[in-house]
Amino acid sequence: DQQVKQNSPSLSVQEGRISILNCDYTNSMFDYFLWYKKYPAEGPTFLISISSIKDKNEDGRFTVFLNKSAKHLSLHIVPSQPGDSAVYFCAASARGGSQGNLIFGKGTKLSVKP
Amino acid sequence: DTAVSQTPKYLVTQMGNDKSIKCEQNLGHDTMYWYKQDSKKFLKIMFSYNNKELIINETVPNRFSPKSPDKAHLNLHINSLELGDSAVYFCASSPGRGSNTGELFFGEGSRLTVL
């Protein structure tokens, strides 16, 4: 039973264009959402997060949008760079994220081509 | 200077053996975790310790036993290894139960292969 779903296993984008990675969740108790980035042979690293009281959070080239009614969030990367090529994991938690019990999606592999 | 370090990074062993993976964090965090990434690529939490106290124990076979000698270390011992235990095991830490960010700091992972 996947509570966090990333339905696109891979995405290919041209350098300079926008990358949009999508994530859906089923548990209405989730109130905190995070995106992690993972390079091969490395652990996931935190990228950006959003609380359920917001619908948008921006950090440089990265913006996360949250649509609670649709139980959907997306990560926008603008402009995309070759160094952004990695696997991106969406994660969610309940109770404000303080317990650390993050539920992860399967990840989307982003390839940014020069 | 790695913040969360795991050893070994690669481990190949036979079914039935007992093995351990060690994890250390130098971030001064209070909480540490073990996550498992299986062949389907899902990252799932196994255990969480806060100041050496077990706070999360998901449905994991009791062949898996975490041990936290102090809050900077969380080791994972696995008895009677089975083929299905083959996975990448990630250690992680976070500032504490009171953290509002939910951000975890992960180690590089330990790839376990059971033959």
pLDDT tens across B38-83, in order? 888 889 989 888 888 888 777 788 899 999 999 899 999 999 999 9
pLDDT attached to residue A101: 77
pLDDT for A60 equals 97
Which pLDDT score, from 0 to 100, does residue A95 have? 67
Residue A100 near chain B (CB below 8 Å): yes
Chain A residues touching B4 at Cβ < 8 A: 43
Alpha-carbon torsion, ordered A81, A84, A89, A94, to 10 deg: -70
**What confidence category does residue A97 fall into, taking pLDDT thresholds of 50, 70 and 90?**
low
- The rounded distance, in Å, linking the Cα atoms of A53 and A110 is 28
Would the pLDDT of A99 be above 90?
Answer: no
Tell me which of A48-57, A61-70, A84-93, B90-99 is least confident. Answer: B90-99
A18-35: average pLDDT: 95
Angstrom distance (rounded) from CA B87 to CA B114: 9
Pick among A98, A103, A108, A109 to test the B interface (most B CBs inside 10 A): A98
Inform me whether the C-beta atom of residue B4 falls under 8 Å from chain A C-beta atoms. yes
Beta bridge partners of A93: A32
Look at B101 and A100 and tell me if their CB atoms are within 8 Å: no
Residue A19 — very low, low, confident or very high, per pLDDT cuts 50/70/90? very high
Mean pLDDT of A69-97: 92
Q: Closest chain B residue to A95 measured between Cα atoms? A: B100
Average pLDDT score over residue span A5-18: 96
Position A33 scores a pLDDT of 94
Interface A–B counts its CB contacts (< 8 A) at 68
Mutate to test the interface with B, among A1, A31, A39, A46 (most CBs of B within 10 A): A46
What is the pLDDT, as a whole number, of residue A47?
A: 95
- Counting every residue, how long is chain B? 115
Does the pLDDT value for residue B97 go beyond 80? no
B98, pLDDT greater than 70: no
The pLDDT of A12-25, averaged and rounded, is 98
A102/B56 Cβ within 8 A? no
Among all residues of chain B, which has the CA nearest to that of A93? B102
CA dist., res. A17 & res. A11, Å (int)? 12
pLDDT band at A2 (very low <50, low <70, confident <90, very high): confident
Residue of A nearest to B40 (CA): A106
